[in-house]
Amino acid sequence: MYNTKIEKKHSILHFCSYTWETGGPPNVIYNHSRFLLEKKWNVHIASAISKSNNIYSTLLGLKVFIFNKSFISRLFKDFSFEMLFWYYKNRNNYSVVNVHGLWNLGSILPFYFKNKSLKIITVHGFLDSYVMKDSMILKKLFWYLFQKKCFKKADLIHAISENEYQVLIKIFPDYTNKIILIPNGLYAPDSFVDIDFEFKSMIDSFVNEDSFIYLFLSRIN
């Protein structure tokens, strides 16, 4: 089993399905980790994935611990006995635990095993109305049994967009002091170079007077 002998003072554990198929959450972790790694933090990710998944990009110093999903994951998303036992053993090795998304095992583990970590929930739009409509009965059951208590115990509730911030304020009017809006931080180089010539040529090749190019920079829902 994975070893996590690290300096607890500057250490963070992310719970996330860290794959390309997951989309947004891994990108947020990736961008955030650039800054923490520069400040000599230990950055770890606990991820339960399927064999068909592809691990998201990593950085030098970023450790991703991969765990096999259990058959229970058909009902309880990303459920992994391996990850559960690993976290229980290493739960006191981290100064911060950041949960990404809801409705999965990683989103409740830090709140149900006693530990001294500061706990952050990054919602990633999982409470948006159109998301809640999918598997509504299971999500409501999970909400009242587990997730609602996790928000109460969290030290920080992290919104990435203004819209999500307003949704959280509406759902948790008593937790406004720990709800914070921090957009996805991008790593900006000191200077920008001209656009790659080959890339620009590819774009120009299919652009003409009768065509349009749609560039989406956000989730389409």
The whole-number pLDDT of residue 56 equals 93
The whole-number pLDDT of residue 204 equals 75
Cα 185 to Cα 34, 35, 160: the distances in Å are 10, 9, 10
Q: Which residue has the higher pLDDT, 151 or 199?
A: 151
* Second-level CATH architecture of 8-181: 3-Layer(aba) Sandwich (3.40)
* Mean predicted confidence (pLDDT) in 93-120: 94
* Mean predicted confidence (pLDDT) in 38-59: 91
* Mean predicted confidence (pLDDT) in 165-176: 94
Please state, rounded to an integer, the average pLDDT across all residues of the chain.
86
Q: Structure tokens of 215?
A: 């560039």
Q: Is the whole model's pTM more than 0.75, yes or no?
A: yes
Dihedral angle, C-alpha 11, 16, 20, 24, nearest 10 °: -90
